[in-house]
Amino acid sequence: MALHRKLSEQLVVLLHLIIGVQLVLAAPQPNDPSCNRICGSVNIPYPFGTSEGCYLDKSFLIKCNNSFQPPKPFLAVDNIEVLNISTDDGELRVSNLVFRSCEWWPVYDNQPSLRRISALLSLSNFSISLEKNSIFAVGCNFFAYISGWQGQHYTFMSGCTSVCGKSTGLVNGSCSGLGCCHSAIPENATKYNLTVQSIYTNGSSRTSGQSCGLGFIGETQAYTFSTLDFENLMNRETVPLLLDWAIANKKCEDAQKNWSSYLCKAANSNCSEPNALGYICKCPEGYQGNPYILDGKDGSCQDIDECKDHPNPCNANATCINTNGSYQCTCLEGYKGDGRMPPGTGCSKKPGQSKIIINIALGISISLLILLVGTLWVYWVMQRRKLIKLKEKFFQQNGGLILQRQLLNHKEYVESAKIFSAKELGKATNNYDKSRVLGQGGFGTVYKGILSDDKVVAIKKSNVVDQSQIEQFINEVVVLTKINHKNVVKLLGCCLETEVPLLVYEFITNGTLFDHIHDKNLSSSLSWEKRLKVASETAGALAYIHFETSMSIIHRDVKTTNILMDDNHTAKVSDFGASRLVPLDHTRLTTVVQGTLGYLDPKYFHTSQLTEKSDVYSFGVVIAELLTGEKALSMDRPEAERNLAMYFVTAMKEDRLLQIIDDRILIEGNIEEIKEVANIAKKCLKVRGEDRPSMKQVTKELEGLRLLEKHSLKKVDSNIQQITKHLPYASTHALGIDVDVGSSSMSTIVADDSMKNQILKPTDNDAR
């Protein structure tokens, strides 16, 4: 077809004008404030300019046509509208014409109509950017092509055909053949001829009417095909076109050799070769301004303070520090990263020191806590062990082992005795509160205790930790566990865990017989009948322990303070602390003398020979006390009468009995009965043990009298008139007991200090 050879309308312009000539004389002032650097919305930076002295040379002259609104800048040499100018990469965006070719259907003579529009594009000083521009054809069955010329020589042709078989095939955004096509611009040309032409295709069925196609050379990225544009483009006049420019057709290296003509002299100005045309000047990275203006002058390349940019180039968790040509982002404490906005890594929390410190602190605290708890636990365990050891020590010290052995030896009795814990008894006595004290004596203190099952008990607590007393204590436990008699105070159990041993008894509510006899208020209610009853019951209890138990028990401390009274005036013999177990085949036992002055058997006192007859003697004193209402030993009486037993026996011998009998029972009592009882007492008080009756006999006689008494209650008053009283006289010397009782105490233990140590011997050895 060789269409490219038929170039009808041509506008031939030289493509390259070698910029070899420098205007040395009127050197342009890039920063001259009188220069107008804006035309409409377009900046006109040096080397471009709109007036004399404001541009580098004629090729950079911009004419600002004010007849447009807003005004439009034109490249003065080629009269091409300028859209904008970039000094950094040597690019110039200009406005290029769109060529249109239209056809009318039907075609005459059925001949294809080959209508063609060609335009020659030529530039004086600048060149079309081959990289960034393309040749476009838009329309149905249109062909756009470009022919390149170098001088008079045709060099090449390049183009594309846009077809549309069916209009529905058009695709938005795609310019690859359907309704739109584009093609690269060939190199090595100084002038271009663009042709747009419809192509006839055999058999193509076209409706009658106008059909238009477009052809243009334009910026590849600036045009995006759309089916809507397909219609609109028909009216489009221009498209953007990118041109390359340079200030001189030299390499940077060569340009710097001729310093006077070199334009990038400023310190902050770099030489750059953006395209094949030559070099330009450029502000370094991070600087902005005009690289053709010398340093220090307004508008020269200045460092950009990126930190003042909006948005800040650094992450929110970073501090921004501006540097020459750049900036630094430093992440805050506890963050890591380059601190820059994407594509930088920004700032992210590091498992940082704070966390480590917290972890360390946490670790230390936990360790300390564990250590503390551990220490406390060890301390607690040690304290507990100490306590247990102490309890064990007390248990041993308190004769726990002896007791266990004793209890084991007499299993049949053990059921009734219980071993209480120290805690249990502390609770029962409200920690041995003073208000709970029932009585106090040389032996210790008796507390009232209330057990967890509301049972009221008496708890006897020894005063001193004395091995001799412990011996006694164990003894009492062993003895009492063997006794089950209604007139003997019942031992419920004991506790060995405390420093001093504790005994738990049944609680007897009504005080001692001593109180009932010698307390004026109580004695008035202690009738003859009751006295007889007490005597009889006590005798029964003693007879029981002497004869009825598996081993004979000698109480050794029978006295009115050891006979307790309950609410029914029932006698309860208590305090077996001094008691001894005597095997039945042994009639005699040598022991340390023990007992209470006034009740003590003088025979035993002198011989240390212990038999149950010692208890009989003591019981005789108790009867005498019941009959006379006098204390067993009284400093208030004349010396000869201090010992009741002596006094009583003497009075009997001298037939002065009625004179010493308590007035109250004389009034109500049967004289015969009184005399009978007095006789029993007299027999009990015989100096020789063998002469005394056994408790069995005594019990029998007393019980007999009681039966009699019940029948003869009515004949009481006839005796009252016979009573005359005489002052009693008696000599203690008669019994050989010569004790200097200077102190006020009269109910004390006989055993003196010199004897005490002997009692440490185990019970078993004692009972040889």
Ligand X SMILES: *[C@@H]1O[C@H](CO)[C@@H](O)[C@H](O)[C@H]1NC(C)=O
Which amino acids are annotated as binding site for ATP, given as ranges?
461
Residue 313 beta carbon to ligand X: minimum distance, rounded to whole angstroms? 21
For the bound state, the minimum distance from the C-beta of residue 87 to ligand X, rounded and expressed in Å, comes to 9
Distance CA 316, CA 179 (A): 49
Phi-psi sector, 346: left (phi>0), alpha (psi -120 to 50), beta: left
Judged by CB, which is closer to ligand X: 83, or 563? 83
Q: Which helix (H) or strand (E) holds 36?
A: none
Amino acid at 439: G
Q: Please give the angle made by the CA atoms of 743, 741 and 757, to the nearest 5 degrees.
A: 90
Active site residue 557: yes
Q: Alpha carbon 554 to chain centroid distance?
A: 68
Q: Minimum distance between the CB of residue 65 and ligand X, rounded to whole angstroms?
A: 4
Secondary structure of residue 487 in the 3-state scheme:
coil
- Taking each helix axis from N to C terminus, what angle separates 695-711 and 671-684, rounded to the nearest 10 degrees? 170
Footprint on this chain of ligand X (rule: CB under 6 A): 63, 65, 67, 83-84, 86, 93
Residue type, 258: N
Question: For residues 523 and 521, what is the distance between their CA atoms, to the nearest angstrom?
Answer: 6
Give the alpha-carbon dihedral of 459, 483, 587, 535, to 10 degrees: 80
Give the residue nearest to ligand X (CB). 84
What's the closest the beta carbon of residue 337 comes to ligand X, in angstroms? 32
* Nearest CB to ligand X, comparing residues 67 and 431: 67
Instruction: Identify the CA nearest to 747 among candidates 510, 366, 345, 441.
Output: 441
Angle between helices 353-397 and 400-409 in degrees, nearest 10: 60
Interhelix angle 671-684/528-543, rounded to 10 degrees, is 30
Nearer to ligand X, 65 or 204 (CB): 65
Residue appearing with tokens 């009468």: 641
Looking at beta carbons only, is 84 or 319 nearer to ligand X? 84
How far apart are CB 64 and ligand X at their closest, in Å?
Answer: 9
Using the minimum distance from each CB to ligand X, give the nearer residue, 219 or 306: 219
Nearer to ligand X, 67 or 210 (CB): 67
Could you tell me the two tokens for 647? 């006094």
Of 13 and 667, which CB lies nearer to ligand X in the complex structure? 13
Smallest distance from the beta carbon of 26 to ligand X, in angstroms? 23
| CA distance from start to end of the chain | 159
**What is 307-353 written as a DSSP string?**
GGSSS-SB-TTEEEEEETTEEEEEEPTTEES--BSTTS---EE-S-H
Closest CA to 51 of 70, 29, 20: 29
Burial (CB count within 10 angstroms: exposed 0-12, middle 13-18, buried 19+), residue 366: exposed
d(CA 733, CA 251): 157
* Of 543, 542, 546, 728, nearest in space to 629 by CA: 728
List Cβ<8 Å contacts ≥24 apart for 379-386.
none
**Shortest distance in whole angstroms from residue 123 CB to ligand X:** 19
Q: 142, 198 in Cβ contact below 8 A?
A: yes
**Nearest-approach distance from CB 59 to ligand X, in angstroms:** 17
**Single-letter amino acid, residue 255:** A
Instruction: Pick between residue 87 and residue 472 the one whose CB is nearest to ligand X.
Output: 87
Catalytic residue among 244, 303, 557, 662: 557
Cite the active site residues. 557
